[in-house]
Each structure stands twice: as C-alpha cells, then as structure tokens.
C-alpha cells in the first residue's frame, strides 16, 4: 500500500507540473500585416517624409516593408510601377492626387485567419509652386523658433527662417528667384565671408536654404560645420547641424 500511495503521489505532482507548464503563444507580439509605404520629398541628398512638396523637387515612393511583389498607382498615370523604391518629378503639375500602394506576401493564416496576403493603402500627394509669384505657396517653415541644442537644453536661443523677395536684391548677388534664409544657428552665427552677408545686413546671421515644402538643407560646404538639414513637425522645428566633429541637434517651438 505504501508503494502504491507513493506512486499516486508522484503522478499527482507530475500532473500538476505539466498542467502549470507555460506554453509560449507563437502569435504573441505579432502585428496584423498592413501596407507600409512612404512618400518623400528629396532635398539635396536627403529624403523627407511629406504629403505636400514643391513641384521642382523629386518625389520618392518607398515601400517600408519587404514584400514579394509591389504595385503603385500614381493618380491617373497609366504607367505600371512595380519597384519597392523609385522617384518621379511633377514639374508641370500643380495637383492633389491619390497614391495607391499594394504589396503582397505569403499570408499568415495561423495568427491572422483573415489575412489574404494582399495589403493596400492610399495616401494623398499635393504639389505646390515654389518660385512663380503668381501661384506661389509659401513654406509653413517661415517663422521664429525658440529652442536649444539637445546637448545643452538650458542654453536657449531663437532661430529664424525667412522668405525674401528677389526683386529687392541685386540678382548678381542673390540670384533672380525668391529665396529662403535660416539665421542664428548656432547661437550668434555671423557670416563674414559671403557676398550676400557682406552686402545685406539682414542676411549676415545666416545661410541660404535649399527648400522643400516643410523641410530643407543648408550650408556652404559638406566639409564644414555650418551645414545641416531640418524639418517642421506641427509647430516644432528640428535641425540636424554639423558633421561628426561638431554634430548637434536643435529642437525649437514656434513663437
């Protein structure tokens, strides 16, 4: 009887142990597959996520996930686009068009029974004019932003982004197109070398900008610290400034 009782006790303990053993859910942390893609405005050597772009800039369309096949429909363009990443220009068009993306993959029926392996999404793209003053759309970047370099948040200062009408300036110095300017980055910046800064005091604390609608690049040379890029998100300006030896990031709120 003692032997039988011992066997029953051991079996009972083993049954509890097996019952309590944790079985990992293979679908834990998995996310239902969707269409992941972006529209980006290319300014200089940087591509910025955008829904509105200046029409003289290239636009990149990019899948953000790995798909077995992809298909793009760009407004009413009859062409077939099947690359995960490509660029287009809309030089002659001011428009708002739907961008339809479809990616396909092997469906994950085990975790998502309704998954059919086809993932589609639509975003709107608007193109606007940067230079022609009759149909001009000014960048919402124009303004003053109080902020700091993230390496020293207690040292606050104000960065200005301004628009200047070329008619008020000598085209041999500033060119014959309206232009944008970023001033006071870093704090106290003063240009003592360029012709625009020497000729016009209002330009002496900054640099010209190569513009996107809500993004930009600036700087005289890629080998110097007085260069960078930035973008606007809601009312916050972000600027990546300088190279490795002087790299900083500015964050400022519109004032």
Determine the average pLDDT of the residues in 18-40.
Answer: 83
Q: Considering Cα of 60, then 66, then 70, then 76, what sign does the dihedral take? A: negative
What are the pLDDT digits (tens) for 190-201? Answer: 988 889 999 999
Q: Where are the alpha helices (DSSP H) in 43-190?
A: 171-174
Using DSSP's 3-state secondary structure scheme, residue 205 falls into coil
Residues 196 and 163 in one domain: yes
Last residue of a domain, one of 98, 128, 158: 128
- Residue-level pLDDT at 6: 44
Residues 94 and 181 in one domain: no
Domain range enclosing 79: 37-128
Residues 151 and 202 in one domain: yes
223 pLDDT band, cuts 50/70/90, is: low
Last residue of a domain, one of 128, 152, 177: 128
Determine the average pLDDT of the residues in 40-49.
Answer: 96
Q: Tell me the CATH number at 97.
A: 2.60.40.10
d(CA 236, CA 98): 27
Determine the average pLDDT of the residues in 38-59.
Answer: 97
What are the pLDDT digits (tens) for 130-156? Answer: 999 999 999 999 999 999 999 999 999
pLDDT at 187 over 60: yes
3 occurs within a structural domain: no
Residues 123 and 205 in one domain: no
205 occurs within a structural domain: yes
- Percent of the chain beyond pLDDT 90? 73
21 pLDDT band, cuts 50/70/90, is: low
- Residue-level pLDDT at 7: 45
Number of structural domains (the chain) is 2
If you average pLDDT over every residue of the chain, what do you get? 89
pLDDT at 77 over 70: yes
Determine the average pLDDT of the residues in 48-75.
Answer: 97
pLDDT at 66 over 90: yes
- Sheet containing 52-54: which strands, arranged edge to edge? 52-54, 118-128, 96-104, 69-74
- Whether omega before 186 lies within 30 degrees of 0, making that bond cis, reads yes
Q: Which of 19-23, 36-40, 73-77 has the lowest mean pLDDT?
A: 19-23
d(CA 146, CA 249): 13
Last residue of a domain, one of 128, 155, 187: 128
- The enclosing H or E element of 248 equals strand 248-254
More confident residue, 8 or 250: 250
CB 217 within 8 A of CB 111: no
CB 158 within 8 A of CB 250: no
167 pLDDT band, cuts 50/70/90, is: confident
73: nearest Cα among 127, 10, 125: 125
108 occurs within a structural domain: yes
pLDDT at 227 over 50: yes
d(CA 165, CA 61): 32
- Residue-level pLDDT at 4: 44
CA angle 64, 235, 159 (to 5 degrees): 110
164 occurs within a structural domain: yes
19 occurs within a structural domain: no
pLDDT at 49 over 70: yes
Distance of CA 170 to the CA centre of its chain: 35
- Residue-level pLDDT at 222: 54
127 pLDDT band, cuts 50/70/90, is: very high
254 pLDDT band, cuts 50/70/90, is: very high
How far are the Cα atoms of 33, 66, 68, 114 from residue 117, in angstroms, in the given order? 8, 12, 10, 9
């Amino acid at each position: 009887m003692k032997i039988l009782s011992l066997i029953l006790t051991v079996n009972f303990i083993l049954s509890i142990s097996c019952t309590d053993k944790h079985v990992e859910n293979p679908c834990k942390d998995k996310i239902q597959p969707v269409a992941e893609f972006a529209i980006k405005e290319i300014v200089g050597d940087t591509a910025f996520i955008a829904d509105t772009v200046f029409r003289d800039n290239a636009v990149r369309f990019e899948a953000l996930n790995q798909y077995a096949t992809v298909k793009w429909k760009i407004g009413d363009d009859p062409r077939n686009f099947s690359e995960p990443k490509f660029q287009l220009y809309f030089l002659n068009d001011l428009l708002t068009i739907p961008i339809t993306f479809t990616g396909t993959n092997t469906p994950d029926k085990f975790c998502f029974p309704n998954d059919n392996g086809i993932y589609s999404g639509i975003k709107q793209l608007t193109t606007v004019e940067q230079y022609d003053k009759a149909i001009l759309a000014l960048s919402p970047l124009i303004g003053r932003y109080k902020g700091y370099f993230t390496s020293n948040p207690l040292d606050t200062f104000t960065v200005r982004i301004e628009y200047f009408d070329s008619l008020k300036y000598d085209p041999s110095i500033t060119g014959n197109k309206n232009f944008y300017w970023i001033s006071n980055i870093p704090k106290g910046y003063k240009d003592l070398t360029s012709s625009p800064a020497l000729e016009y005091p209002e330009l002496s604390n900054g640099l010209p900008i190569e513009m996107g609608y809500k993004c930009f690049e600036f700087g005289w040379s890629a080998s110097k610290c007085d260069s960078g890029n930035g973008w606007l998100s809601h009312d916050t300006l972000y600027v990546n400034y300088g190279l490795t030896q002087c790299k900083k990031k500015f964050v400022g709120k519109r004032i």
